Amino acid sequence: MTDKSTDPAALWQTMLGEMEKGFNAVATQAMASPEFSKALNQAGSVGAGAQKQVGDMMEKYLASLNLPSRGEMVDFAGRLQSMEARLDEIKAMLQQSLGTSGTVSGTTPGTAQSGADPQRPPRTKRPPSPEGEQR
């Protein structure tokens, strides 16, 4: 094997390790200072303020185009979900009342045929007799 003192990969690895230790020391020292945390807090509040302004401008722009905003779509989705839930409740109550009244499930009263499938038409044509004639 090659000597560690002349191996370029080993030298590169050692140099990177030392640089990483130095950067970590500087970053730890900088993050411990109150000025760093104050600057980071200010940058976050500036970003939040800019995001709010962009959201307000977008809402005004969409209103001028007669399009719904994100908040209006969220509200619409909530109302739609509540309507679907009410319809499901009505459907369940209707099925329960039809089940207790003695009608066939899945059919409307008056359309149930005795023993026949309501989806298939009645059979009126008879099969041919063994002699090959139709009756």
Residue 128 CB contacts under 8 Å (≥ 6 apart), including other chains:
134
pLDDT at residue 27 in the model: 87
Report pLDDT digits (tens) over 60-83.
999 999 999 888 999 999 999 999
Q: What is the mean pLDDT of residues 23-47?
A: 87
pLDDT band for position 8 (cuts 50, 70, 90): confident
Residue spans of the domains in the chain: they are 10-54, 68-101
**CA-only gyration radius of the chain, Å:** 39
Over the stretch 42-60, which tens digit does the pLDDT of each residue have?
Answer: 888 988 999 999 989 998 9
118, 111 contact by CB (below 8 A): yes
